[in-house]
Amino acid sequence: MSGNFEGYRREYTAGGLTAEDLEASPIAQFEHWLEQAVKAGLSDPTAMSLSTIDSDGRPWQRIVLLKGLSDAGFVFYTNFGSDKAVAIAANSNVSLLFPWNELDRQVIVGGTAQRMSLAESATYFLSRPRESQIAAWASRQSRPIAKRALLEAQVQKLRDKFADGEVPVPDFWGGYRVKPERIEFWQGGEHRLHDRFRYTKDDAAGTWCLSQLQP
């Protein structure tokens, strides 16, 4: 199957973006845009594409959910045996993409992923729905499985095992915090004259530098 998609396009008309519109902190600016995405009714405003590079230098992407945000970085959780965690262990440089297409916006984050403390991961794990806790125990994430029925049987086995108490925090599961070094805000514009602004972290000064980029 093949196709030609050269003629598929639309105009971006949601509005422009200027330096005066932006907060001094990219984290504050991100929070502002995220709030607008939530109010606009986007189905998954906290969904982000996480890009990693494995030990062989091969890039890979997958959708994960943003679970925390502070000046220290962007937080997500996963199994430490997953492909993403194995790749991060080999190369901690990662990228995040928030594709808010309905608002003609995207945000790109570049930085390094660092494991969070056991206490932080435990606090979040214990706040999750019970079925999500059990699923974390049941799945050997990213590993092959002969058929789904085996996974479902493992879930039931764990339901029975933990039936009389709380589900403990797995030692193979936890959080990562992406410490941002670059954050770019993109706003679609008419005639492909998009607006792009990039914040770059000056670690020595502890400040963010803002520059406008050509589309």
Task: Quote the CA–CA distance of 69 and 64 in Å, as a whole number.
Answer: 14
192 catalytic? Reply is yes
CB 124 within 8 A of CB 175: yes
Active-site option among 62, 192, 196, 198: 192
- Amino acid making up residue 84: K
Which residue from 19, 5, 8 is spatially nearest to 195, judged by alpha carbons? 19
Strand pairing category for 93-100 and 47-53: antiparallel
Task: Quote the CA–CA distance of 126 and 79 in Å, as a whole number.
Answer: 15
Strand pairing category for 59-65 and 47-53: antiparallel
Tokens at residue 88, please? 């991060």
Q: What is the largest CA-CA distance in the chain?
A: 62
State the catalytic residues: 192
